[in-house]
């Protein structure tokens, strides 16, 4: 029986794991190598080896309602897109509210996690830690949750850039970037067009003489501010849109999405059009980069072919001279150096984990990785859902399939990802946010049932169907049900708008035509939902569907 659990890391995934352990009556001990909680979101002026690092101006690109934990809404007066300091403050509020910090041992690094000699019988692990004074300590735990993140080991592919050793200026990875003060009056080349590369190019362009952005593949760029000024994720990350993704061909959806993006700024004209389709890879989220390209502050370039002194030569033959700084925004490698190799099952480019959580080749399911996931959505709700499932497995309430079945599922996942997404060594996995959340929630009986809500709480049904897929939906039923979940869903837009109400203005009266159109669309959405349920019924026995819905509500 699992009782004592080691949690490695006190970032957003580690905090969620500590709370999940406490909710299930387990006793967690969290080991955090730094002197504070927050993980990635704890800003430090100097980057520390083997730790995630962020820049001074970093603001999250996921809105607050879509990133918060499922039973602890972010305060209404907090901005919708929060600076890293606000995010850390929210984490501290969360930790204090649920009394999590008393379970954290700061400035304690995990050196190794190994199976005990009697693992076959007990499933226990020996964890070796080291404190700030270099003193080692050995512990025995019934289970381990690894929450060490995957933005820790910068990828610097210098061998792919011939002549880099001759470069006369300064070059570094985006992991080392803290602010644009060193870019003043400089000529800068940013290599890579991910979210960090876009932010650094935009910020540097405000003080640099000129910024060039080199991209091998290009990228689709979406705005955080969407239609009517709403956060883009609250506008489009809905169950109704998710249903459309199940019903319509992906090529049609790609065409619709690309057409909408190109209507704002044509990606071909702006020289940013990628080789892949829109939904094959997570897009770059950046409102400022298109304007910086339009104003000439950032000039797009293809991949770097060669570097000669202070000259950078690109694959199209173009040349930029007198370059002072090169920033490698080239992603991160991932590693779990303290975990045993025997627990790391390889599948394609990634560590093969059953549902991206459990090693599929262990005798006992007492080791889990939480937060090692990649989707167009915040890590907080995903890690929280994983942790809720993990602790239910540890307690014996949920059973995993056989090792053979899990390995087969891992290999099938790898094939599906290779088929649907652009994956590589640096981005080895990607999932659909709603599908993944629903899948894990289904494991513990917390997935919201549209069918049940349609017949028992129609007003809530409309919110769940039409509104954003916020984490509160996964507290409506099942284990961990939260009595405040329904109200949180009904007030999520109130909290979103509250942060904007800093100056009183006269609000227009809603028109009759607008109300009629909303009613019509709601009826149409209800029909789509009924059709979706019909498709589900066709694919599985009716009694299974009804039984799952009834048991979710009863539990």
User: What pLDDT band is residue 555 in, cutting at 50, 70 and 90?
Assistant: very low
Query: Is 485 contained in some domain?
Result: no
Please give the pLDDT value at position 514.
67
Burial of 282 (0-12, 13-18, 19+ CB in 10 A): buried
Q: What is the mean pLDDT of the chain?
A: 91
Residue finishing a domain among 281, 314, 330: 330
Residue 128 has pLDDT above 50, yes or no: yes
Residue 494 has pLDDT above 50, yes or no: yes
The CA angle 190-194-195, to the nearest 5 degrees, is: 105
Query: Is 492 contained in some domain?
Result: no
Question: What is the three-class DSSP state of 406?
Answer: helix
Average pLDDT over residues 146-167: 92
Three-state SS letters, 128-177: EEEECCCCEEEEEECEEEECCCCCCEECCCHHHCCCHHHCCCEEEEHHHC
> Same structural domain for residues 144 and 170?
no
pLDDT in tens, 101-125: 999 999 999 999 999 999 999 999 9
> Same structural domain for residues 87 and 117?
yes
Domains of the chain: total? 3
Taking the CB of residue 539, how many other CB atoms lie within 10 A of it?
A: 8
Question: What is the rounded CA–CA span in Å between residue 112 and residue 126?
Answer: 8
Question: What is the rounded CA–CA span in Å between residue 92 and residue 36?
Answer: 10
Please give the pLDDT value at position 513.
72
Question: Bridge partners of 127?
Answer: 113, 139
Q: What percent of the chain has pLDDT over 90?
A: 81
> Same structural domain for residues 53 and 23?
yes
Question: What is the rounded CA–CA span in Å between residue 525 and residue 247?
Answer: 13
Question: What is the rounded CA–CA span in Å between residue 495 and residue 80?
Answer: 9
> Same structural domain for residues 395 and 264?
no
Query: Is 463 contained in some domain?
Result: no
Query: Is 465 contained in some domain?
Result: no
> Same structural domain for residues 169 and 318?
yes
**Which range, of 141-150, 318-327, 346-355, 524-533, averages the lowest pLDDT?**
524-533
> Same structural domain for residues 99 and 175?
no
Please give the pLDDT value at position 543.
39
Residue 77 has pLDDT above 50, yes or no: yes
Residue 426 has pLDDT above 80, yes or no: no
Q: Enter the tokens of residue 241.
A: 């849109």
Residue finishing a domain among 445, 476, 500: 445
3-state helix, strand, coil split of the chain in percent (to 5) is 40, 15, 40
> Same structural domain for residues 12 and 111?
yes
Residue finishing a domain among 276, 301, 330: 330
Residue 57 has pLDDT above 50, yes or no: yes
> Same structural domain for residues 259 and 294?
yes
Q: Enter the tokens of residue 426.
A: 């640096």
Q: What percent of the chain has pLDDT over 70?
A: 92
Query: Is 78 contained in some domain?
Result: yes
Tell me the backbone φ, ψ of residue 372, rounded to 5 degrees. -90, 75
Question: What is the rounded CA–CA span in Å between residue 281 and residue 375?
Answer: 9
Query: Is 464 contained in some domain?
Result: no
Residue 228 has pLDDT above 60, yes or no: yes
Please give the pLDDT value at position 45.
93
pLDDT in tens, 262-291: 999 999 999 999 999 999 999 999 999 999
Range of the domain at 36: 4-151+334-445
Please give the pLDDT value at position 511.
67
Query: Is 440 contained in some domain?
Result: yes
CATH number of the domain encompassing residue 195: 3.50.50.60
Please give the pLDDT value at position 553.
43
Residue 158 contacts by C-beta under 8 Å, 6 or more apart in sequence?
164
Average pLDDT over residues 21-46: 95
User: What pLDDT band is residue 20 in, cutting at 50, 70 and 90?
Assistant: very high
Instruction: Kindly give the interhelix angle for 12-23 and 84-97, rounded to the nearest 10 degrees.
Output: 20
> Same structural domain for residues 280 and 372?
no
Phi-psi label, residue 134: left if phi above 0, alpha if psi -120 to 50, beta otherwise = left
Residue 532 has pLDDT above 70, yes or no: no
Question: What is the rounded CA–CA span in Å between residue 492 and residue 76?
Answer: 9
Question: What is the three-class DSSP state of 227?
Answer: helix
> Same structural domain for residues 248 and 192?
yes
> Same structural domain for residues 187 and 62?
no
> Same structural domain for residues 270 and 171?
yes
Q: Enter the tokens of residue 460.
A: 């809530």
User: What pLDDT band is residue 542 in, cutting at 50, 70 and 90?
Assistant: very low
Q: What pairing do the DSSP bridges indicate for beta strands 284-285 and 221-222?
A: parallel
Please give the pLDDT value at position 419.
85
Query: Is 455 contained in some domain?
Result: no
Taking the CB of residue 29, how many other CB atoms lie within 10 A of it?
A: 18
Whole-prediction pTM: 0.90
């Amino acid at each position: 029986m699992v009782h004592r659990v080691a949690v490695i890391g006190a970032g957003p995934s580690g905090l969620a794991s500590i709370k999940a352990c406490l909710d299930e009556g387990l006793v967690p001990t969290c080991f955090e190598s730094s002197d504070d909680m927050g993980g990635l979101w704890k800003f430090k002026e100097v980057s520390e080896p083997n730790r995630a690092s962020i820049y001074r101006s970093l603001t999250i690109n996921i809105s607050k309602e879509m990133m918060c934990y499922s039973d602890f809404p972010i305060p209404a007066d907090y901005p919708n897109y929060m600076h890293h300091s606000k995010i850390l403050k929210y984490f501290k509020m969360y930790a204090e509210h649920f009394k999590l910090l008393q379970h954290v041992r700061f400035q304690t690094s995990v050196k190794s996690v190994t199976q005990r000699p009697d693992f076959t019988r007990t499933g226990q692990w020996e964890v070796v830690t080291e404190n700030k004074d270099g003193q080692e300590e050995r512990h025995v735990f019934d289970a381990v949750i690894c929450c060490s993140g995957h933005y820790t080991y910068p990828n610097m592919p210098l061998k792919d850039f011939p002549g880099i050793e001759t470069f006369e200026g300064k070059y570094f990875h985006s992991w080392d970037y803290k602010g644009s003060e060193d870019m003043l009056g400089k000529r800068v080349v940013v290599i890579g067009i991910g979210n960090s590369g876009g932010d650094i190019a935009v910020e540097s362009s405000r003080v640099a003489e000129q910024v060039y952005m080199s991209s091998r593949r290009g990228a689709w760029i979406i705005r955080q501010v969407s239609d009517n000024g709403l956060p883009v994720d609250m506008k489009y990350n809905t169950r109704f849109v998710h249903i459309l993704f199940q019903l319509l061909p992906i090529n049609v959806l790609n065409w619709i999405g690309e057409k909408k993006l190109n209507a704002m700024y044509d990606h071909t004209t702006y020289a940013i059009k990628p080789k892949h389709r829109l939904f094959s890879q997570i897009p770059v989220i950046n409102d400022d980069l298109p304007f910086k390209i339009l104003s000439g502050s950032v000039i797009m370039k293809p991949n770097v072919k060669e570097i000669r002194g202070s000259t950078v030569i690109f694959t199209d033959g173009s040349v930029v001279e007198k370059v002072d700084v090169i920033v490698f925004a080239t992603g991160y490698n991932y590693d779990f150096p303290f975990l045993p190799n025997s627990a790391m099952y390889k599948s394609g480019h990634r560590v093969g984990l059953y549902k991206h959580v459990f090693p599929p080749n262990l005798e006992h399911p007492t080791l889990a990785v939480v937060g090692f996931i990649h989707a167009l959505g915040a890590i907080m709700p995903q890690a929280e859902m994983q942790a809720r499932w993990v602790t239910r497995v540890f307690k014996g309430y949920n059973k995993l399939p056989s090792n053979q079945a899990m390995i087969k599922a891992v290999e099938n996942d790898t094939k599906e990802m290779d088929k649907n997404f652009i994956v590589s060594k640096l981005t080895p996995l990607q999932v659909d946010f709603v599908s993944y959340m629903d899948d894990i929630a289904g494991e513990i009986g917390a997935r919201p049932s549209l069918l049940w809500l349609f017949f028992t709480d129609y007003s809530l049904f409309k919110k769940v169907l039409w509104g954003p897929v916020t984490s509160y939906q996964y507290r409506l039923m099942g284990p961990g049900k939260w009595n405040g979940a329904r109200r949180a869903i009904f007030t999520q837009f109130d909290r979103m708008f509250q942060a904007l109400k800093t100056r009183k203005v006269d609000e227009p009266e809603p028109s009759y035509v607008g109300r009629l159109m909303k009613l019509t669309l709601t009826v149409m959405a209800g029909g789509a939902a009924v059709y979706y349920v019909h498709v589900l019924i066709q694919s599985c026995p009716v009694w299974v569907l009804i039984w799952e819905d009834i048991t979710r509500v009863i539990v």
